[in-house]
Amino acid sequence: MGFVQHSNIILVGFLVWLVIAPRFGSPRYGELFLAYMTALLFSLIGSSEIMLIKPVAFFFTVGGVLAFFYILARMTIKVTIRK
């Protein structure tokens, strides 16, 4: 597929989707996160349809999927230090 060849597009997709992601302290975080997941899902489905014509869109969305997993990991894994 050429993941190494398109790594810069994946990085840009990761950064863009990370900026778009809702902030955890928001009062409407649940609604915004659901909208974020839905937009990412439709983007992934749409870009997989045109992957043979424009692979840039697919790799951009792969970066978005990585951002989504990063957000989930950041929300679920909490490190605390006790004295």
In a domain, 81, yes or no: no
In a domain, 35, yes or no: yes
In a domain, 66, yes or no: yes
Write the DSSP assignment of 55-74 as a string of letters: HHHHHHHHHHHHHHHHHHHH
The tally of domains found in the chain comes to: 1
pLDDT digits (tens, 9 = 90+) for 27-69: 888 888 888 888 888 888 888 777 777 788 888 888 888 888 9
Q: Mean pLDDT over residues 74-78, rounded?
A: 79
User: Whole-angstrom Cα distance, residue 58 to residue 49?
Assistant: 9
What pLDDT band is residue 1 in, cutting at 50, 70 and 90? Answer: low
User: Whole-angstrom Cα distance, residue 60 to residue 34?
Assistant: 20
Pick 15 or 5 by higher pLDDT: 15
The whole domain housing 35 covers 7-76
Is the pTM higher than 0.85?
no
